[in-house]
Amino acid sequence: MLFTPHRLGGLALPNRIVMPPMTRSRAAHGEVATELMAHYYAQRTSAGLIVSEGTQISRQGQGYAWTPGIYTREQIAGWRQVTDAVHAAGGRMFAQLWHVGRVSHVALQADGAAPVSSSALTAEGVKVFVDVENRGPQSGVGEMVQHSPPRALRVEEIAAIVEDYAQAARNALEAGFDGVELHGANGYLINQFIDSQANARDDEYGGSLSNRLRFLGEVAQAVYAVVGPGRLGVRLAPLTTLQGAVDDTPQATYLAAAKLLDDIGAAYIHIAEADWDDAPDMPDAFREALRIVYRGTLIYSGRYTRERAEHALQSGWADLIGFGRPFIANPDLPHRLQHGLPLNPGDRARYFGGDERGYTDYPRAA
């Protein structure tokens, strides 16, 4: 089934392989996507769908050095050269819209402002947060390592961030993307509102489950109003605990989130499974429950091989499968998977930052 077509909104995907978002930290000054990035994505258009690396919706939303944005005219133009190259090569591409919230670093904030989040953290809380923060791209680029206690967003500020998401979606369409994916996973801002241990609010955005899902719902509705049917995806990470985002009842929380997104009309939910060796496995009963409450396309990413992908598709709880790190070193990954060819190893030292080495110089199979 991995090599059979799938319809996603108005897009006819030639296979069920997704290149998921992966930060590579190669944007130019001004957080502008480059010609090198256009070449990188165009090399990988044999994927049924490409989702861009996390792309910040505002300066406030930036987490790491050399990551691209989509809130200035220059950034829109930079992404346009990427989407033009992808479409010229026959590909399809969504933009992942990103606000990192408390994960941002002091040096990336305007006027040294504190990062924002669902809730404030004390200095001791920041120490704990930094201790649990791991596997992030900052370990590869090195410049941004200083954390400052994040402050809780005031209720009156939240509407402006929702509009930042909506404007970023408008910009993404102008830049030629086929749709957008909201990053609601991995401990970033939307996730900081959803998960109970990251959200200590006592207003309409905190406390009860419906309140903790309010921000996700407002952002998804605002973006859906911009992009329309078939063009909105949302990435969620129900069982991961990256960057201190922990929920006390994750299955109940994320089934409710999936039902909310179904009601809004999201075209897909992209489930990010933990991909480290000792990560928890998602119970099959949970996957089946997600399929019941959500009627759109379901994408799963994390530690997938061709065999695991085929099992997921044939079991009926997945429609598309994301292959992350294998796409870094194998621009022709679908061809290699289909024909059982060996995979190039990735150069981990060049995953984040740098030039074309370890980025666009991996060979295709003979």
Phi-psi region at 135: left, alpha or beta (left = phi > 0; alpha = psi -120 to 50): left
Structural tokens at position 77: 């133009």
- pTM, two decimals, is 0.92
* 119-157 CB burial, b ≥16 within 10 A, e <16: bbbeeebbeebeeebeebbbebbeebeebbbbbbbeeee
Beta-ladder partners of 235:
183, 270
Q: Please give the pLDDT value at position 275.
A: 64
Burial 222-256 (b: 16+ CB within 10 A, else e): bbbebbeebbbbbbbbbbbbbbbbebeebbebbbb
111 has pLDDT over 90: no
188 carries an active-site annotation? yes
Tell me what pLDDT residue 149 has: 83
- Percent over 70 (pLDDT), the chain: 89
What values do phi and psi take at 28, rounded to 5? -90, 180
Least confident of 131-140, 188-197, 221-230, 269-278: 131-140
Q: Return mean pLDDT, the chain.
A: 91
- Mean pLDDT, range 224-236, rounded to an integer: 98
Residue 326's CB is within 10 A of a number of other CB atoms, namely 17
Mean pLDDT of the region 177-186 = 97
What residues are paired with 230 via a beta bridge?
Answer: none
Task: Please state the rounded mean pLDDT for residues 51-56.
Answer: 97
Catalytic annotation, pick one of 165, 188, 254, 294:
188
Only one residue has tokens 């400052």, namely: 148
Q: Per-residue pLDDT for 163 more than 70?
A: yes
> How confident is the model over 245-272, as a mean pLDDT?
96
The predicted pLDDT at position 366 comes to: 83
CATH class, range 6-350: alpha beta
Break the chain into its structural domains and give their ranges. 6-350
What ranges make up the beta strands (E) of 25-142?
49-56, 93-98, 116-117
Inform me whether the pLDDT recorded for 227 exceeds 80.
Answer: yes
Q: What is the pLDDT of residues 281-292, one digit of tens each?
A: 889 999 999 999
Work out whether strand 268-272 and strand 232-236 pair parallel, antiparallel, or are unpaired.
Answer: parallel
Q: Are 16 and 48 in contact (CB under 8 A)?
A: yes
pLDDT computed for residue 145 by the predictor? 47
For residue 269, the 8-state DSSP code is E
Give the range among 104-108, 122-126, 285-289 with minimum mean pLDDT.
122-126
Check pLDDT > 70 for residue 276.
no
Kind of pairing, strands 151-152 and 116-117? parallel
- How confident is the model over 30-44, as pLDDT tens digits? 999 999 999 999 999
CA–CA dist 298, 305 (Å, integer): 17
Using the predicted structure, report yes or no on whether residue 21 has a pLDDT greater than 60. Answer: yes
Q: What is the pLDDT of residue 62?
A: 92
Query: What digits encode the pLDDT tens for the residues 323-359?
Result: 999 999 999 999 999 999 999 999 999 999 999 999 9
- Residues constituting the chain: 366
**pLDDT > 60? residue 197:** yes
What mean pLDDT is predicted for residues 246-251? 92
Give the whole-angstrom CA distance, residue 79 versus residue 26.
Answer: 13
Two tokens, residue 270:
């992209």
* CA nearest neighbour of 91 among 265, 334, 330, 296: 334
- 1 secondary structure, DSSP code: -
135-139, 260-264, 265-269, 295-299: which has the minimum mean pLDDT? 135-139
Pairing of β 11-13 and β 6-8: antiparallel
